[in-house]
Each structure stands twice: as C-alpha cells, then as structure tokens.
Amino acid sequence: MATITLQPGYSHSPQTPTLSPSPISINSTLPRVRDGACDACLRRKSRCAMNEMVNKCYSCDFHRQDCTFTLTAAPEAPKKRKLSETEPAESVKRPATMQSQSVEAESAHPLPLARNMIRPGFFNQSTQHIGMTTELEPTLLEYLPLDEYDECTVSNSRVRRCADDATFMRVVDTVPVGDSQAVSLDAIESLVAPYGSTLIEKFFDHVHPSFPILIEEAFRQSYRERRGLSPLLLAAVYVLTLKFVDVGASSQTARKPDAARLEATALKLLMDSLPSPSHSTIQAGLLLTQKSTLATASLNGQLVTAGFELGLHQDCTNWRMKTWEKGLRKRLAWALYMQDKWSSLVHGRPSHIFAFNWTVKDLVEQDFSDAFASGTDSSHDETAVGHGPLLFCHMVALTTILSDILDRFYTLHAIEEFQAAGNQRTRMILEKAKPAQIRLKDWFSSLPPSLKMETSTGELVETITDEHARNGALHLAYFATEITLHRCIVRSLLAEGTDPYLAHICRSAAKTRLISAMDFVNRLRPAHLRSFWPASARTNFSLIGSFGMLLRITAPTSEEADFYRVRLCEYRWTLGVSHKNAAFMGFALQSLDNATALHKHVPAKPGIEELMATTKSAPPRLPTTAHGTYDEAMMEAGTGTSSSVISGLASPATSVSDIEDGDASMPPL
C-alpha cells in the first residue's frame, strides 16, 4: 500500500496513495447512575455514576481509590466492583478517542488533555493548562510525587505533568450540570432522521479528507455503537454536512432534517462547552465555523481562547503521551491557527495567535496516521483519503504566508508607518513585500501535480476527480493571499508624488493578478463548486471583485476604468452562473452589487487625451510583457528551498536584500 510523504515537491505515483493508520478501539460507555451510591459518594453526598470501562464510579476513578459498598451492602458483603461478564478485561487498556464524551480508561490514557468527557447532565469536568503567571508557582510542580501515570492528586484536582512545560489540572465537579446541557445523541439523531448514517458517510467523503481534525475509525465505531460520542460533535458534523445530502423530490416520503433547530442546538451545546472545553469542543467549533454564516469573529476568539486553555499552542513533540494524541493535538492546533488567520482577513479584525506564543511544530506524515480509517472496519472507501493530508499541509503553509502579510501591512502600527512615509510609501511597501512574494512563489512552485488545478480542455476537464475538485479552495486561498498583498500596494499609489512609472508597473502587475483570479473562477466546474469549501471561501470570492473595483476607482483614465468595468461585469456573470452549484456565491454577488452601487459617488475619470493635455506629456508606456519589468525582477529572485516537511514551506525565505524592488509573478496554473 502506498504511503504519503509530506515533502516539498512531492508528486503522486499513478496509484492513489492511502494511509494505513493504527486502528483505535473504543470501549467507552455513557455513565450509568447506580441506584445505590458507593461509600465515597455517600460520604460526599454526591451522585454515583458508573464508569464501566474501569469498573469504578467516576469519582473513585478520579481519586485513584477503591470503589466499595460497605455502607450500603450487608456487613458480610463488602466488595469491589467486578468486571461485567460481557466486558473483556483487556478493554480497560484500550485507548479511547478524544472525541469521546465519556471518560477514557485511566490505565490507557491517564488524564488525556482536556478531558471534559462526562456526559452532560451528570458531572462537569474541566482541564486547564497551568501557565507560568498564575497564582500557582510552577516551581512547586517540580516536587510533585507523581504516580506511574505522571499524575498527582492536589486537593480536589488531579494534576498531570507531561513535561517541564506542560502541566495540566483536571477538576471534576460532582454537582450535576443544568438540564439545558442534557441533550442526548438520540435527540440529535431525531433532528436529521432518517439521514443520520448518510450524513456521516458524506462527511468522511467530502469534508474529512481535506480537513482531518477527527479520528475517523474511532468516530465511526462510536457512532455505530452509540457509545462515547459527544452530542455536540455529532451535531456539528451534521450541520456541516447537510448540504451534501439531497432531500429533494426523490425524498418526499421522508421527513426533511430540521436544519434550523439542529444548528441552534449545536450552537447552544458549543456555548455551554466553551467555559470547560475539551478536544471535542475544539473539533465541533472548528467544524461549525466552516459554515460561513456561523463563522463570526467573536466565536473565533472564543475558540482560540479554548485552544489556549488546552495548551494547543505549545509544542507537544516530547510530551509523555501517545502518538495518536500528539497527532490529534497538532492537527487541531494548525486547524485553529488557520481559522484564526482567515477569520482575521475575512472580518478585518486583529489575529489572536502570535508567533512569539506559538511553538507547534510542522506537520509530518505520522501526525495523520490515526486520522483516517484503515478500510478494514468501515464501508468508507479508503482511496477517498487521497492527497487530503497534503492539501491540509499546503493550506497551513499558505496561511502562515497570509499571517506574515497581515502582520507586515495591516496592523495599526504598519499603517501609521506607511502614512508617515509620504511619497516613499510605495517603495517602502515594495521592500517589505519582497519576502512574502518570494514565499508565495516558492509555495506555488512546490505544489505537487495532485494539488494543481485542471488547466487543459477537452477530456481532462470532463474527468475531474473528487480529489482535484477539492483543490479549488486551496487555489482560491492563494489568489486571496496575493490580492491581500496587492491591495496594499495599489492603495499606496494614491500618495501625492508617487513615481508615475513605478505606479504603472505596479498597476500592471495588479491587473495580471486580477485577470488570473477571474479566469480561475471562470474555469471552475460543477464538481469543484459542489465540493467542500471553508467558510473563508465566500469572502475570498468577494475579494476578487473588491480588488477589481479598487483598480477601477483608482484608474488614472476613463479608458482604463472602463476596462475594469467590463471585466467586473463578466465576473458578475460568472458568479451568477456558479451560484446554482454553490449557494455561498450569493455573498460575492451581493458584495459586488453593493460596491457597484457605491461607485456612482466616484468622480469621473479624464480620458487619455485630456490627461495628456493636462500633464503636457505622454503617460508612461505600459510594459509590453504580461508581467512587466516589475515582475521580471522578482522572477530572477533566488529560489531558496525550504527545509523540514511540507509545513516547512512556511519558513522564511533566504535573504533578498540584493533583489530589486518588485514582486513575484503569478505562476501559470
């Protein structure tokens, strides 16, 4: 079986690569309340809920004590709980998924990070990463008498010390939580019946391959057995996947899913979960925020904060935990990073994640080893995994470039600095743009064939695979990143005293980007449009129109402004045609219409002859090549290669101090 090596310049063999993860078994159950409480729970006057995985109640399991019934049984019958005859003893040692909503076996994964795993309606459990500035002196933790699980009981909490820089405290609140949180799996299932199993298959066909933040085999087994699965996570999967299920005329005999109630329930569960987050909280939140109508700036901030609570911003490479848990943490961390950065772009708000507080290492092949089902215990076609991990990693690398652009050009301090530069503003921006442009060029040139868009006509266009269909979002994100950089450059040209020839070169380069982006959208086929697109996609489509409008209103002549007017009309037509296969295109259409309506306030532009008569000189000659001198200089730039695995593409490029002002040309698709 072929494997995926996440290296720059990787290309697939003719055989579709697949992953062979180590299977993850789940034998967790929902808590079962006993009629008679154990001795410890009687003393505490708390509810006694059975954790059948370890044959103890949750409270005794948490405190590492025997679970006995001497106070409730006959004097001659003090006993410990025994394993059920139907439950194999070795099941206690099996690893459980972090997606579980019940507590995993302590002997397998003592205190898995963020184990808010108690079923809602019984107990509330929270895990917190202990920071360096809290009231608890970190040096004291070095003297804790840790047990074989690297844990220690401190007051009413369990402390797990994974490494010198990774200490977590878990607290179990034995007071039942509110009834508003007691939403069962059956209640979630009833909102989509009879499409539940179909939605699960669609999720792993369309979403999971390119957004692998779950452990597929564990999730599938939990779903089949209706045991150990978070209602919040199940609801989030359903919300995101509803659009992939046809409930139209052919399904008139079946009740349609209650999408509105499902979405409201999922959001309510998420809000209830955020104060005491678990990994399933992050997973569900990330899935819900891939629905553009739910991806608010405030929710993004809450998710990032929850991620910090779980220590996802830290390097876990050397932590004392299982390989699958490290891989899951890294995938969640980078997915959260991407969500934060694209949310910053989409909403025009500051990012919440900064490089100086982010030590998560590059993704490697091993980090995906447990993400996908092996195919032996699932009806899911394992070939559907395809190049999903590669796509995910390249998207991470591109997002780090976007982050750099946002930090260099769109912070308040950067804007003040540019304004203070006066007529030297453009040259200052171009100088700062060099590293980002080189990184973009290297990123694009390193794309393996499997991640490129179909560019030829005829039979190749008609045979677009599901894998290639998923590439649309990646390339759209690339154009949005380019446009974000060039918007800043074009705006700087409005400064009085800007070199006219430099302005022409910059505008020519921007024009090339716009035309390439519009042509890309025009080449999208129904297979592309019906695939999974992240929440940022609808704004990224809109940014193409916004960029065209910027070039139109800043055009020096009426002839050039009219050129962009025509191209924008063509782009609007393309969006209208695509809208029937991608409903979120309606946002880009509305945005373009709003901008067009506002354009009536822009003063009319002079014609070329009028401009020549006014300036008494001919305007600078436009470059004769497609990219112009400005781009040609950058095409001659160094080709510094990246190190490490695919995320290493995000590493800073080599020195460019000897390169002339300019930007990298957009490589042809």
**169 DSSP β-pair partners:** 128, 159
Q: Tokens 């150990």 sit at which residue?
A: 228
Q: Is the pTM of this model over 0.75?
A: no
Residue 610: its pLDDT value, please? 78
Name every residue whose Cβ is closer than 8 Å to that of residue 537 and which is 6 or more positions away in sequence: 292, 473, 476, 477, 584
Residue 454: its pLDDT value, please? 62
CB of 67 within 8 A of CB of 56? yes
Residue 661: its pLDDT value, please? 34
pLDDT in tens, 498-541: 888 999 999 999 999 999 999 999 999 999 999 999 999 999 99
pLDDT in tens, 170-188: 655 544 444 334 478 899 9
Residue 343 clears pLDDT 80, i.e. is over it: yes
Cis amide linkage into residue 606, ω under 30° from 0: no
Q: How far apart are CA 465 and CA 404, in angstroms?
A: 33
Please provide residue 605's backbone torsions phi and psi, each rounded to the nearest 5 degrees: -90, 150
- Average pLDDT, integer, range 423-437: 94
Residue 15: its pLDDT value, please? 34
The tokens for 267 are 């959001």
pLDDT in tens, 232-287: 999 999 999 999 988 765 555 567 899 999 999 999 999 999 988 989 999 999 99
Q: Tokens 């040259």 sit at which residue?
A: 427
* % of the chain exceeding 70 in pLDDT: 66
pLDDT in tens, 447-498: 998 899 865 443 334 457 777 888 999 999 999 999 999 999 999 998 888 8
Residue 555 clears pLDDT 70, i.e. is over it: yes
Look at 70 and 11; give whichever has higher pLDDT.
Answer: 70
Residue 87: its pLDDT value, please? 37
Lowest mean pLDDT among 70-74, 322-326, 604-608: 70-74
Residue 91 clears pLDDT 90, i.e. is over it: no
pLDDT in tens, 639-668: 333 223 223 323 333 222 232 333 333 333
- Which bin fits 336, alpha (ψ -120 to 50), beta or left (φ > 0)? alpha
Q: How far apart are CA 73 and CA 71, in angstroms?
A: 6
CB of 319 within 8 A of CB of 359? no
State the DSSP string of 547-577: HHHHHHHT-SSHHHHHHHHHHHHHHHHHHHH
Q: How far apart are CA 573 and CA 467, in angstroms?
A: 27
Residue 595: its pLDDT value, please? 93
Name every residue whose Cβ is closer than 8 Å to that of residue 123 and which is 6 or more positions away in sequence: 31, 47, 49, 58, 172, 173, 174, 175, 176, 177
Q: How far apart are CA 544 and CA 561, in angstroms?
A: 16
Helix ranges (DSSP H) in 1-136: 39-44, 58-63
Residue 628 clears pLDDT 50, i.e. is over it: no
Residue 313: its pLDDT value, please? 94
CB of 398 within 8 A of CB of 477? yes
State the DSSP string of 132-190: SSSSS-GGGGGG----TTSEEEETTEEEEEEETTEEEEEEEE-SPPPGGG---HHHHHH
Residue 68: its pLDDT value, please? 84
Would the CA dihedral through 130, 136, 140, 146 be positive or negative? negative
CB of 638 within 8 A of CB of 656? yes
Lowest mean pLDDT among 47-51, 65-69, 90-94, 436-440: 90-94
Three-class SS of residue 75? coil
Residue 89: its pLDDT value, please? 36
State the DSSP string of 625-654: SSSHHHHHHHHTS--PPP-SSGGGGGSPPP
- Which residues in 328-339 are b (16+ Cβ under 10 Å) and which e? bbbbbbbbbbbb
Residue 31: its pLDDT value, please? 38
Supply the Cα-derived Rg of the chain in whole angstroms: 28
pLDDT in tens, 398-425: 999 999 999 999 999 999 999 999 889 9
Residue 115: its pLDDT value, please? 36
Residue 377 clears pLDDT 90, i.e. is over it: no
Q: How confident is the model at residue 96 (pLDDT cuts 50, 70, 90)?
A: very low
Residue 459: its pLDDT value, please? 38
Q: How far apart are CA 218 and CA 322, in angstroms?
A: 15
CB of 451 within 8 A of CB of 395? no
Name every residue whose Cβ is closer than 8 Å to that of residue 624 and which is 6 or more positions away in sequence: none
Name every residue whose Cβ is closer than 8 Å to that of residue 618 and which is 6 or more positions away in sequence: 612
State the DSSP string of 302-369: HHHHHHHHTTTTS--TTSSS-HHHHHHHHHHHHHHHHHHHHHHHHHT---S--GGG--PPPP-GGGGT
Q: How confident is the model at residue 36 (pLDDT cuts 50, 70, 90)?
A: low
Give all strands of the β-sheet with 151-154 in edge-to-edge order.
124-129, 166-173, 157-163, 151-154
pLDDT in tens, 131-163: 666 666 667 777 677 777 777 777 667 776 777
Lowest mean pLDDT among 45-54, 60-69, 359-368, 572-581: 45-54
Mean of all residue pLDDT scores within the chain = 75
Maximum CA extent, the chain: 111
Q: How far apart are CA 404 and CA 377, in angstroms?
A: 43
